[in-house]
Structure 1
Amino acid sequence: MFAFIARQPILDREKDVFAYELLFRDGKGGTFPDLDPEKVRYISQRFHALGLDDICGEKTSFINFSSDTLISRFPTSLNPETVVVEITENPSLQAGLMEACQHIKQLGFKLAIDDPMLISGKHEIFPLIDIVKVDVSKSRFELIEKNIPRFLDSNIRLVAEQVDSHDQFNTCRDLGFDLFQGYFFAQPETRIQRQLPASKMNLVDLMGESSQSHFDLNRINQIIERDAALSYILLKFINNPTINKRYKITSLKHALNYMGEIEIKKFIALLSLANLGDDKPLELIHMSLVRAKFFDLVSQERKLNTNPPIGFLVGLFSMLDSLLDQNMEDILKQLPLTDSINDALLGNDKEFRSYLQLVRAFEGALWLNVVKQAKILDIDQKHLHSLYNQAIVWGNGIKNAISAYFPRPAIR
């Protein structure tokens, strides 16, 4: 059970999520926390805590452990099928750590280690290693290239850390890395001046309608009816158990009566974004979903007007520049969004500028920034953790629903 946590995706060569690395606020340097029973009970009673399944869904979890935890307090409740144990210290520098690693391997866990350039093939821990992680922002590529073969020859998987650009991703992939950690996938690949394709204009119209205070059902029906595939996906998606567990929805009007105007506005915006970014890594859509829900929850705490659901829409559209490989200013000139949403997306709204800084702090495990923004927004920072946890759970469910109807294309 974890309440105060961040997760960072680890992607494979096709830019699909392989695992999430978990970073714990209550553990030194983000390591697995050693909480006393009283604090665990307090957290479970007061906050929206998560289990590993809630955080990572069906994906593997990379968890950092201190040497003391590995030696004497390793949690037996963790599942070796879904958890990779990450060692953060050199095993030769801590008495008893080698024996602890051997025991953990016998339990069936895979071992990952940071800074492998310090580990020779003759080191006693080398045969125990399954995964090595290399911070490519700190290592020279000539040195990395020289050392890579001994890991590949031993069937050890390689993770490139701090991959912050598409060029770095391509270079590391060519060197032999097959896993990549960093937010390169959330960066625009090229910034070029171009118009949105005509095939996407129905989606653009829907995005515009979702941001209006007036709900024009006939107008939305006309947009959807122009695109048979969109109409089909809408009905399939809205009847997914994640969205709707009770009633069979047969039309948009039926959905409006069942879900209500505000939820329909969120839904058509979500549907539009998923289609608009259909050639991008699904994790980019996933991050947009978590941001949407989190901004929505925070805006409700702040008692902002929710019709239209500005918080949700700003969070959802906050990564449009990465989805469309254009500057945000150029994108917004092509979208019929309201001035208030445009201002927020351009960083001109103080309220939503804090939301964006806050969500980036959660994504990057920058806990002091969480505390800072909590003070600015006058919301208890621990309660913000709870709201972010809720957004993760919601985003996981919606992502799974989306992935069934929007399969990702092969890597370009």
Structure 2
Amino acid sequence: MYGYVARQPIFNQQQQLIGYELLFRDGEHNAFPDIDPDEATSRLLSEQHLLFGVERITANKLAFINFAEDSLLYHFPTSLDPATTVIEILESVRYSSELMTACRELHEMGYQLALDDYTFQPEWQRLLPLISFLKVDIRQNAMDELPQLLRQLKGFTGKLLAEKVETMTEFHQLQAMGFHYFQGYFFARPEMLKHKQLGHHQMHLLSLIAEAAEPELDFDKLVQVIERDLGLSYKLLRFINSAYYARANPIQSLKHAMVFMGETELKKFIALVALSNLSVTDQPELLKMSIIRARFCDQLTKASGQLELQSSAFLTGMLSLIDALLEQPLEQVLAQLPLEEAIKSALLQQQGALGKSLQMVLHYEQADWRHYQQQANGTIDGQTDVRELYLDAVDWAEQLQQLS
């Protein structure tokens, strides 16, 4: 499953890049699909911004994003950073007092507004004090008529942006008329970007992993989330009734199961089950290795006497292969998870106490005994049977996979 977006650069008078207009696409044909504009905006935000961040697509330049009427009235833009977002009001939007109110509120929140395909109609004059960019389609306005039309904008303090500029001659003419910014095929055609897209179910599972990283779990909230997913509910009950949690009487209530497991073990369960359902790869060995690393990191941290770090160590080991499992760069995946910085530093730079535990696991996996011992000296008690800890992790992973 892939997500698509096109971006077309916008330049200033010196032909320096100042931002991109982001254009929703639903396939590789690089054309706007036949769908409602509000749906296009909603999908662009959910498929691009919520997963990867618009700032990555625009390289931290301004992002010009189209918004139709309903998405403006319902304040869809407020999930975006006002410092780097230009809210582009589509030409199909009808002027109304409700629109004026919504635009004023967005303006007061710090967003820059742009009027797309400005038609110089009188009803839009009232909105101009809130507008930072007026986009003028030069294919809809004759070049020799533009100077007269622009005189209607006396007192307008925003910037003029010319769209569909296709030649050097047009660029120079528009410069002379006072246009500040330019967009069109003369500079660049829309560039297609394609990336692996996570489905809604996978986004839901990522949120569960994030919940497992919280300092304190909200049991009631977790019950509400998990009980909506029959598969997760079933796995929780199987997990709690497995040999590792042997009980005289089986547990059947989700809340009862969570309380019995306790916060530390419940965090592990959430992370494990979410990860096992999140994977888009056809390599079950990667998932098994992630589980082994999670358990091994957890046990090494316990053996070093750092009991307060066990949950974080488990999560660090478990997420150490998430980039391979999701076929996404590690930095991008971690950016979506509100993990503590110690976990991120361990995963990205192998720094800190958690990073040291992860390094020991990696050295042990590779039979790099010299570097393993360097890390273990002064950390792991010499009486600890590390081989037994590793085999325990392997057995644990085997049993968990049988529960899947």
TM range (shorter): 0.3 to 0.5
Task: Between the two structures, name the one with larger relative contact order (CA 8 Å, sep ≥ 6).
Answer: 1
When normalised by structure 1's length, the TM-score is 0.47
Give the TM-score taking structure 2 as reference length: 0.48
